[in-house]
Amino acid sequence: MAKRKRKAVSYRIDDLVIDAVQKAANNQGISANRWLELYLFDSLKTMGLIPHEEEKLGENRGGDRKSNKYKN
């Protein structure tokens, strides 16, 4: 199987949904993009649209952003 990668796409989504996604992401300390990717991956896997053996893509920024090394 070919190596998976992230693709930049654009969707029109209700402002209320966008605000709720941002709040959920903030609560978990991750970006809205990452939150959406994780949520959609889990949901689609549960629905059987993503094969059971597939794993989520890892963090793409690199490093441990929660360590003191990255705090100002």
pLDDT tens digits, one per residue of 46-57: 999 999 999 999
Question: Quick one: residue 5, left, alpha or beta (phi over 0 = left, psi -120 to 50 = alpha)?
Answer: beta
pLDDT per residue over 12-51, tens digit each?
Answer: 999 999 999 999 999 999 999 999 999 999 999 999 999 9
How does residue 70 score in pLDDT terms, banded at 50, 70 and 90? very low
pTM here? 0.75
What domains sit in the chain, N to C, each tagged with a CATH number? 14-50 (1.10.1220)
**7: its two tokens:** 């693709």
pLDDT over 90 (residue 4): no
How does residue 71 score in pLDDT terms, banded at 50, 70 and 90? very low
C-beta of residue 64 within 8 angstroms of C-beta of residue 70: yes
